[in-house]
Each structure stands twice: as C-alpha cells, then as structure tokens.
Chain A
Amino acid sequence: MAIKMMQGNEAIAWGAITAGCRFFAGYPITPSTEIAEILSRELPKIGGKFIQMEDEIASLAACIGASVGGLKSMTATSGPGFSLMQENIGYAVMTEVPCVIVNVQRLGPSTGQPTSPSQGDVMQARWGTHGDHPIIVLCPTSIPQAYQQTIYAFNFSEAYRTPVILLLDEVVGHMREKFELPEEFDPGSPDRPTIPEPPEWYRPYGDTPSDVPPMANFGEGYRYHITGLFHDQMGYPTQRRDEIDPWIARVNRKIERNLYNILLYESDIPDQVDTLIIAYGVTARSASHAVKLARLQDLHVGLLTLYTLWPFPEDLVERLAATASRVIVPELNQGQLALEVERVVGRDKVTRINLANGKLIPPPMILNVIADHKP
C-alpha cells in the first residue's frame, strides 16, 4: 500500500491490525461501519476473527470474552451503540480485561443525526458506566493521529489491563487525508507476554510492583475466576473491606502512576500568550486555523490540543494556562470538557464556544472570540 487518501475509520482498522488486534466484534452503525467492513475483510487474511453480533452489548461482551481467550480485541460503534456498551465497559474495568472501544461520535441524544459530527459523548466516555472507575479516553484529530492512537489504545489497554476508549467524531472518522503506513513496519505482537510464575503460584489480581498483575489467557493452564463482583487477589467474590479497598486503590493507582505515559497532547504555545485555546478532535482543526488567522493579526494566542481526554491532564492545563489571561474551549457540545478546564483554571478565566447542531465550528467564530478580548 503506497501513499493513499485514507479515511479516519480506515486508519483505525489498519492501526488495530498494526497493534496486534486479532478479534473484532461489532454491530452496524453509522458513522463507524467502515471499521467493521475493513476488518471483516482483513482479519481473516492474517488468521484473525471477525464477528457481527446481534447488538452492541453482545459485541463488547464478545470482545471481552475473546480477550480473555488471548486475542487483542476491538469493537467500534457510535452514540446509541456506545450507550448500550456501558455496562460491559464497567465489567472490563472491574475484571481488568484489555479491550479497545471505538466511538465515532454522532449528534445526539437518541438517534439524533447519524451523519453529523458531535463531541457529545466526552462525559459519557468518562462516566457512562456506573460506579467510580478510572478510564483512558483518546481522541485523534487527523488520519495519522487516528492510526497512531489506535496503536496507543491497544498498548495502554494491554499495559494497564483496562478498557481504552477511542473517541472520534464523524468528521475525523469519515474525512480523507493523505496517509502512508510507516515504511519500516514492525507490527506489534498479537500475543500477551507469558506469565512468569507457574499456575499454582499465579494470582490473577495479585499485588505486583507495577500494580498491573500479568494476565493469563483462558485455556493455557492457568485456571482462575473472573467476576464483575468485587474480588480478592484470586478473583473470588468478596465483601471484605480489607480486600475491596486495596483493589480500588490499585486499579486507580495503576493509571495515575503512568500519567506521564498516558497523557498525549500537542502544544503550540509561544512565550507570551494572552489567550490559550484548549481543543480536541475535529474542533482542534478549527482552532488551529483560527490561531493562524489570529497570529496574522499579531494576537498572542496558543493552542493546546488534547489527545488524551481522560484522565484529564489537570497539571498540564494548570501549568500552561497560568500565564494566559484567559482560556477558550471550543466544543461540539454544550460544554463538557470545559467543565474540567473550569475546575482547574477557574470559571472566570474560561470562555466556551459551543455548537451542537451537527455543524462544525468555523475558524472565524473562534477568531472573533480571540479578537474580542481586551486584556
């Protein structure tokens, strides 16, 4: 495959194969279906498995089951399907089974506008499943980013034994950009590392220095129990505080202590900024254009593009926003990530730009807000 015009959804499919994904289960839904179509064609060629399940609940369930069986697994969906997946996302968190969930966001709620972009699922990606839990959510802005972040999503998922959500919007999913798969290509291993200890010593949820106990696949000699109930180090259900508390602490710690690795972003911030824009997904593209226009007018503006939305990079935002007199957060929703930015830098400092009608934020709309500001 030479240089070609590639869609975001296509880049995700190739990124998944690159990362070692060998199982995909999904249910047709616009605007994510291309991912399923491509993987139904490509996975069998490399010995992988594809299945179209009866709904999105079953799709994620099958992915988790396949992951327990040793295959790196992914599903892809959009708003309504993502809502259906929430319970099993919590199950994957609780059981620490790696899997990647792609949500190509469309305008909602409900059936909404299947072919229009939206960033309305930012909070759902964070808090959609019930109960407190850590989660990793990545959000690409371009086709090369979609490819790369799919690989990151798999790597994070395996490294930290957690579901990872890849949050696109319809535009990044469907637009085409020039893209070439990396020349010297070294595909990631589809296999998990072998378990260092023999089965009789294996503790599937044991305390390890890394806080991530190694995961044994079913059917390979390590018989153990997996449950969505709170469990002890052996995986057996427990109601004991002295077993539940350490689990909660470890599962949060395994993400927190690796933030330096997980938090992906790009900053284009000159020394003297008056205004900082924090954006993600397709909105970061509008913002980037607005920044160019603003600089032509000698306005001092910086852009922070977040690729990792959750965990929210609060230290980073606090540090970068410290010198700016205000922060603009453009989003294709009623203000979701803006809530986090406001929490970190204070409400007075934040100006929101929101559009939630299926249209993109035009760069001049952001430019006007930048230019309006009287320091």
Chain B
Amino acid sequence: MILKEHSAYEYLRHTKKFPNVWCSGCGIGIVMSALIRAIDRIELDKDDVALVSGIGCSGRLPVYLDFNTMHTTHGRALAFATGLKMAKPHLKVIVVMGDGDALAIGGNHFIHAARRNIGLTAIVINNSIYGMTGGQYSPTTPIEDLASTAPYGNIEQPFPICDLAIAAGASFVARSTVYHAVELDRFLEKGILKEGFSVIEAISYCHTTYGRINKLGSAVDMMRSLKENSVSMKAAEKLNPEEREGKIIRGILCDLDKPEFTALYDQLIERAGYTKGARLRSVRSL
C-alpha cells in the first residue's frame, strides 16, 4: 500500500528503484527517513539539496530520494561534495557515508573537510563492519570482535568518529543511534542548518554479517542493544567511569560558530578584485 499522504512520499523517487537494496531490518532506512523528516522540517526546496554518497550499503541511499543525487567512488564522497559546494554554495550538500567509506579509504578527506570547515553535512552510518562485501572488519570494529577478515578477533583499536571530527575542526558534531530516530531527526536538522562542517554519527548495526559472526542475534536484538547500551550526555554525566565503559553516549558533542569555507572564499574573491556578476571580456586584460 502506498500512502501518498505520507510526508515522505514527495521526497521519494517512485519511478524505478523500490524495493531498496538493504536487508530487511537494516538501520540505513531509518537514517533515510530521519533525513527526510529533517529536510521536510527545515522546508528546503528539493532543488537546493544535493545528496552525495560513496560506496557500500550507505552509498545506495541517495538514489531513492528526489534530490540532486550523486553516488561517487569509494571514500571520495566528501571530495566530490567539496567541488560541488564550491561551484554552488547555495546548495545544502549532504554526504552519506559508512564507517569504512568515511574513515578507512576516505579518512584523509574526512579530516581535511573538517579542517576546511566547508559547509557540508556528513552523515556517518556506523555499523562497525563492511556489510556489502560480507563482514570484513572496519576502522570502527571493536577490539576482540570477530569479522570475516578477523577470524581470531580484531586487534586494531577503533576510531572514535566524533572525537576525530572535533579534533580535525568540525563545527558541529553529534551522535545518536537508529533506535533513537526522533533524536536523529533533530541532530540532522541542526547539522544541515549549521553553516560549517557538520558530522552526525548515526550508530547502526549489521545483523546480516557482524551480528551473525559475533552471535549478537537478530536485527531486533541488535536494535534493543542500541537502546540498552546508550545514554544521553546528560545521563552519562551521572554515571561513574566504570558504568560509562562501553556505553554509546548520545548528544551534541560540539557546536561552534566558525567561519565557513565557501563564505571565506567569497571574501577572497572580493579581495582579488572581482565584482560579482562581471564577465571576462579579454584574457589580455588580466
């Protein structure tokens, strides 16, 4: 049954693509609906939104949504988005990545986009694994957990995504989970409205690979563990260090007002002597 009166309806592409590629029970769809709600609440014009993704399960998200959408190469979504944002600064450019996409192959672009403080919204859907390729360990796989390429347990320490983003210079950093969908809407909304570089870590799960290999049960069980193992920042303050151990701490971890890159670039252009709207008449005049 198609609910045409549903608020998400006008944001979906109905031409071809459904049903989607994700396993039933996957958290990515929840991130997608949270994103739709956030955009709907801000009342952005669909023409003014660009959705850029890399490779992996998360990379497939843009195709379902009726915006300017671009599915790029593995790890490079932020670099493509940087060019697009510079060409069209009025666009709200939202970049959807997975943990492997954003932090392994794309780690360099991630820290440099944050350092530039360019006005992109980076959503990192963190399921601690490479799902699409069959459950290999990622830069966020916890120590000792199993993966299809870590049959004796992972010995590499995971990247703390939000800490990394803050240290690299992002303006806005928040973390929530796919269980806390309403909270996720709110963080996405704030991130999109932020002038500078914003990062929203959406903690998800992959019951098909990671959950199966580590015997964590079904999607429902994994969803339940997101509920039980996470606390808000406020609640976390009341916990002692032992109680906080292993907990996902949800909330807005950083919210700063810093000059945004494309705005600074406009000032640079002015300093270089360009008058807005002027057309080049002769190269010899330069």
Q: Shortest CB–CB separation between residue B273 and chain A, in angstroms?
A: 6
**Of A18, A42, A224, the contact of B69 (CB 8 Å cutoff):** A224
Is A46's CB within 8 Å of the partner chain B?
yes
The segment from B44-52, B174-182, B208-216, B221-229 that touches chain A is: B44-52
A190→B284 CA distance, assembly (Å): 17
A61-109 at interface with B (beta carbon < 8 Å)? 61-71, 73, 87-88, 91
Given known A-B contacts A49-B86, A64-B83, A219 and B68 have beta carbons under 8 A apart: yes
Is B22's CB within 8 Å of the partner chain A?
no
What total of A-B pairs shows CB separation below 8 Å?
A: 170
Is A23's CB within 8 Å of the partner chain B?
yes
Pairwise interchain contact B73-A66, C-beta atoms closer than 8 A: no
Mask: chain B, 66-80; 1 = CB below 8 Å from A; 0 = not: 111111110010011
The segment from B24-32, B240-248, B275-283 that touches chain A is: B275-283
Pairwise interchain contact B16-A223, C-beta atoms closer than 8 A: no
Pairwise interchain contact A236-B76, C-beta atoms closer than 8 A: no
Give the size range of B's interface with the partner. 35 or more
Q: A64 contacts which chain B residues (CB < 8 A)?
A: 72, 80, 83
Pairwise interchain contact A54-B283, C-beta atoms closer than 8 A: no
**Of B13, B67, B79, the contact of A62 (CB 8 Å cutoff):** B79
The segment from B121-129, B135-143, B186-194, B264-272 that touches chain A is: B264-272
Pairwise interchain contact B72-A67, C-beta atoms closer than 8 A: no
Pairwise interchain contact A58-B108, C-beta atoms closer than 8 A: yes
Pairwise interchain contact A181-B274, C-beta atoms closer than 8 A: no
Mask: chain B, 28-72; 1 = CB below 8 Å from A; 0 = not: 000000000000000000111010100000000011001111111
**Of B63, B272, B280, B281, the contact of A227 (CB 8 Å cutoff):** B63
Is A14's CB within 8 Å of the partner chain B?
yes
The segment from B87-95, B150-158, B230-238 that touches chain A is: B87-95
Q: A218 contacts which chain B residues (CB < 8 A)?
A: 50, 68, 70, 84, 88, 91
Pairwise interchain contact A223-B46, C-beta atoms closer than 8 A: yes
Pairwise interchain contact A44-B84, C-beta atoms closer than 8 A: no
Task: Identify the 7 closest CB pairs spanning chains A and B, nearest first.
Answer: A69-B87, A65-B83, A62-B83, A61-B79, A44-B272, A66-B83, A58-B79
Q: Can you pick out 7 interface pairs between chain A and chain B where the beta carbons lie within 8 Å of each other?
A: A44-B268, A58-B76, A58-B109, A62-B86, A69-B83, A69-B86, A229-B71
Q: A residues bordering B, Cβ < 8 Å?
A: 1, 14, 17-18, 23, 25, 42, 44-47, 49, 51, 53-55, 57-59, 61-71, 73, 87-88, 91, 181, 183, 185, 187, 190, 217-221, 223-229, 232, 234, 236-237
Q: B residues bordering A, Cβ < 8 Å?
A: 13, 15-17, 46-48, 50, 52, 62-63, 66-73, 76, 79-88, 90-91, 108-109, 112, 265, 268-269, 271-274, 276, 278, 280-284, 286
